[in-house]
C-alpha cells in the first residue's frame, strides 16, 4: 500500500509582523490594513526555495535510511533555475544517492499536490519506492499590495513509499482549469492578479468544493468522516463560504496558518498536511486539497505507525523557533526589491567555476569530507594526505559526512566590513564532534548569542548570489543547534 512514510517541514526563522508593513506602506494603499493581523514568514537573505526544500527534506528524512530513497520530486513556482534541474541541487544536499529519479513540478500552485500524487502513483504502480516529495515557495509581491501582506515562505516534505506507511493514500480527484486569477509570466518577478471578488466567487468557492465533492462522491464519503480537511484558501470570505457549502466544522478545519506563516504557494497545502499529521491519530482520515490552475484533492488514512514517528522538528517546531524581523526595509533589501550597496569590495568576486563545482560537488553541496582509514581523523575539505601530523598517510581516505554532525564554536566574529546583506556577517571556526573542523558562515543567529563551545548544526544556504551572471552558489553554514524534544 502506498502512502506517506514520513513528513517534515520548514519555516524560516524570521517573521515580518504585518503591522510593520502597514506602518511602512498603508499611506499608498489603505486596503492592505484589512490583512494587518498576524505575521508572515520571511526567508533569510541566504535562503530560497531550494535551501528551504533541503531543510524540510532533512526534517522529513530523520530516521529514514537515505540510501533507500529512489526519487526526489520538487514543487515550486519560484525555483531559481529554468534550465538546470532544481531538484538536482537538492539531491546531493540531502545526501541521497545519485541513482534517483528526479523532477521539478511547477506552473500552477497545485504543483505541490501534483508532485505528491505522482509519487503516490509511482509507488502504487510498483515502479519506484521511497520518493522524497518536497515543496517550497518564496513568492514576491509588489509593495503595498494585498499579496505582499498575504504571502509567506515555507516548505514541507514527505517520504512516499509502501513500507511503514503512517498515512495510507486512499484516493484522489483532480480538476484543472486555465483560470487566470493570478499569473506570472516568464520574466516577471511578481504576479498579475485579477479582482479579488471574482477569485473569491468564481475561483476558490467553485473549484475547491467541486474537487472535494468529486472525491467524496467517488469514494462514497461524507465530509464528517474526516478528522481534518485541509485546503489553502487565504480569502476569509471564500473560506467561510466553502466551509458552509461543504459542512466543514471548525473542529475539522485545518488552519491555513495565515496568521503564522502566510500563503506559501505550492507548499501551503503540504505545510498544512504536515502540521495535521503532527496531531493525527491512527484511523484518522485526512483530506487535503490544493488550489491554483485547478485543484487536486487527496485522501489519506492514518495508520498505527504514526505513533512511531519522532525526531523531527516539523512545522510546529519551526513555528516556535522564530524571530521578529522588525524592519520592512530589511525585507526589501533581502528580497532585492530595493538596490542596496554592499560595497565595491564585492565587485571583484570570482565567477563560478562549474567544472570545479562538478568535481567537488560532494564536498560543496553535500559537505562530504574525508576520514583517514589509518588513524581515523575526519577532515574537511577532503584531503589526499592526512592532516594528523603523527599520521600523514597518503590516499587512505574514505568519505565522511559532516552535514549531519554537531559542532562547537572554537572562535567567532561579527564582521562589519564584509560585503553582506545582514551585517555584521557572522562566521567562526567549528570543531565537529568526532573530529574535523572548519571556518563557516553562521546564520539565523546574532553575535550576542555566540560563545566558545556553543553547539551548532549545519544548514544548507546560499553562499552567494552572482547577479552579474545570474548564478546562485549553495553551500553550508552553521546555525545554533535546536534540540528536538
Partner 1 sequence: MAEGIKDKVAILGMGCTRFGERWDVGGDDLMVEAFVECLEDAGIDKNDIEAAYVGTCYDEVNLGKAAVAHAEILKLPHVGVTRTENFCATAQEALRAATYAVASGAFDIVLALGVEKLKDTGFAGLPIGGGGAFPRLGGYNGSGPSSFAQLAPPYSTKYGIEMEKVKKAMAHISVKSHANGKMNPRAHLRFPITIEQVLNAPIIAHPLGLFDCCGVSDGAAAAIVTTPAIAKSLKPSQDVIKIKAIQISAANGEETLFSNWDGASLITTQVAAAKAYKEAGIKNPREEISMMEVHDCFSITELVIMEDLGISPPGGACEDIMSGFYDLDGKIPCQVDGGLKCFGHPIGASGLRMVYAVYEQLLERVPEERKVKNMRLGLTHNLGGEPARGVTSLGILGRD
Residue number with CB closer to partner 1 (299 or 474): 474
Minimum distance from residue 92 beta carbon to partner 1 (Å)? 13
407 binding partner 1? (CB under 8 A): no
Q: With contacts defined by CB under 8 A, how many residues of the chain interact with partner 1?
A: 56
Rg of the chain over Cα atoms, rounded to whole angstroms, equals 23
Per-residue contact string for residues 148-167; x = within reach of partner 1 by CB under 8 A: --------------------
Minimum distance from residue 400 beta carbon to partner 1 (Å)? 12
Q: Residue from 224, 411, 449, 484 that binds partner 1 (CB under 8 A)? A: 411
Question: 415 to 434, contacts with partner 1 by CB under 8 A?
Answer: 415-420, 424-425, 427-429, 431
Minimum distance from residue 343 beta carbon to partner 1 (Å)? 6
Q: Residue from 19, 38, 414, 480 that binds partner 1 (CB under 8 A)? A: 414
Minimum distance from residue 346 beta carbon to partner 1 (Å)? 7
Residue number with CB closer to partner 1 (67 or 346): 346
Residue number with CB closer to partner 1 (174 or 379): 379
Interface segment toward partner 1; rule CB under 8 A; list 25-33, 195-203, 217-225, 360-368:
360-368
389 binding partner 1? (CB under 8 A): yes
CA distance 202 to 204: 7
Residue number with CB closer to partner 1 (176 or 465): 465
Residue 413, φ and ψ in degrees, nearest 5: -155, 165
129 binding partner 1? (CB under 8 A): no
Per-residue contact string for residues 436-475; x = within reach of partner 1 by CB under 8 A: xxxxxx-----x---xxx---------xx--------x-x
Minimum distance from residue 356 beta carbon to partner 1 (Å)? 5
Residue number with CB closer to partner 1 (314 or 420): 420
394 binding partner 1? (CB under 8 A): no
Residue number with CB closer to partner 1 (223 or 375): 375
Q: Residue from 360, 396, 455, 481 that binds partner 1 (CB under 8 A)? A: 360
Minimum distance from residue 478 beta carbon to partner 1 (Å)? 10
Residue number with CB closer to partner 1 (221 or 419): 419
Residue number with CB closer to partner 1 (213 or 352): 352
- Count the neighbouring beta carbons within 10 Å of the beta carbon of residue 432: 20
CA distance 395 to 20: 57
Residue number with CB closer to partner 1 (121 or 431): 431
What is the binding site for partner 1 (CB under 8 A)?
Answer: 343-346, 348-353, 356-357, 360, 363-364, 377, 379-381, 383, 387-389, 409-420, 424-425, 427-429, 431, 435-441, 447, 451-453, 463-464, 473, 475
Amino acid at each position: 500500500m502506498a502512502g506517506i512514510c514520513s513528513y517534515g517541514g520548514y519555516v524560516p526563522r524570521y517573521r515580518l509582523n504585518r503591522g510593520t508593513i502597514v506602518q511602512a506602506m498603508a499611506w499608498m494603499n489603505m486596503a492592505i490594513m484589512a490583512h494587518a493581523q498576524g505575521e508572515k514568514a520571511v526567508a533569510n537573505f541566504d535562503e530560497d526555495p531550494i535551501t528551504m526544500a533541503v531543510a524540510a527534506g532533512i526534517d522529513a528524512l530523520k530516521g529514514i535510511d537515505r540510501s533507500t530513497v529512489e526519487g526526489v520530486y520538487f514543487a515550486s513556482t519560484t525555483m531559481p533555475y529554468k534550465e538546470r534541474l532544481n531538484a538536482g541541487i537538492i539531491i546531493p544536499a540531502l545526501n541521497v544517492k545519485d541513482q534517483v529519479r528526479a523532477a521539478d513540478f511547477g506552473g500552477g500552485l497545485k504543483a505541490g499536490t501534483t508532485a505528491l500524487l505522482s509519487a503516490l502513483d509511482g509507488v502504487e504502480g510498483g515502479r519506484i519506492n521511497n520518493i522524497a516529495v518536497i515543496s517550497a515557495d518564496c513568492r514576491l509581491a509588489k509593495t503595498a499590495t494585498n499579496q505582499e501582506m498575504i504571502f509567506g515562505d515555507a516548505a514541507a516534505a514527505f517520504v512516499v513509499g509502501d513500507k511503514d506507511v503512517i498515512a495510507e493514500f486512499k484516493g484522489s480527484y483532480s480538476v484543472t482549469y486555465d483560470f487566470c486569477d493570478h499569473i506570472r509570466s516568464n520574466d516577471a518577478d511578481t504576479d498579475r492578479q485579477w479582482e479579488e471578488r471574482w477569485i473569491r466567487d468564481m475561483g476558490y468557492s467553485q473549484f475547491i468544493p467541486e474537487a472535494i465533492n468529486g472525491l467524496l462522491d467517488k469514494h462514497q464519503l461524507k465530509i464528517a468522516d474526516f478528522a481534518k480537511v485541509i485546503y489553502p484558501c487565504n480569502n476569509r470570505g471564500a473560506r467561510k463560504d466553502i466551509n458552509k457549502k461543504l459542512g466543514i466544522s471548525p473542529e475539522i478545519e485545518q488552519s491555513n496558518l495565515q496568521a503564522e506563516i502566510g500563503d506559501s504557494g505550492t507548499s501551503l497545502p503540504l505545510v498544512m498536511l504536515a502540521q495535521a499529521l503532527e496531531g493525527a491519530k491512527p484511523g484518522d482520515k485526512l483530506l487535503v486539497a490544493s488550489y491554483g490552475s485547478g485543484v487536486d484533492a487527496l485522501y489519506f488514512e492514518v495508520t498505527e505507525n504514526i505513533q512511531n514517528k519522532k525526531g523531527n522538528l516539523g512545522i510546529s517546531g519551526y513555528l516556535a523557533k522564530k524571530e521578529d524581523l522588525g524592519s520592512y526595509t530589511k525585507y526589501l533589501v533581502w528580497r532585492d526589491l530595493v538596490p542596496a550597496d554592499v560595497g565595491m569590495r564585492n565587485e571583484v568576486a570570482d565567477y563560478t567555476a562549474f567544472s570545479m563545482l562538478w568535481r567537488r560537488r560532494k564536498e560543496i553541496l553535500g559537505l562530504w569530507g574525508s576520514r583517514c582509514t589509518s588513524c581515523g581523523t575526519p577532515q574537511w575539505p577532503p584531503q589526499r594526505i592526512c592532516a594528523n601530523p603523527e599520521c600523514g598517510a597518503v590516499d587512505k581516505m574514505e568519505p565522511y559526512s559532516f552535514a549531519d554532525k554537531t559542532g562547537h564554536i572554537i572562535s567567532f566574529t561579527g564582521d562589519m566590513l564584509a560585503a553582506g546583506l545582514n551585517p555584521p556577517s557572522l562566521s567562526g571556526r567549528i570543531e565537529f564532534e568526532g573530529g574535523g573542523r572548519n571556518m563557516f558562515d553562521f546564520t539565523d543567529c546574532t553575535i550576542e548569542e555566540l560563545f566558545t563551545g556553543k553547539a551548532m548544526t549545519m544548514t544548507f544556504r546560499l553562499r552567494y548570489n552572482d547577479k552579474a551572471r545570474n548564478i546562485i552558489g549553495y553551500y553550508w553554514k552553521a546555525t545554533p543547534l535546536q534540540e528536538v524534544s
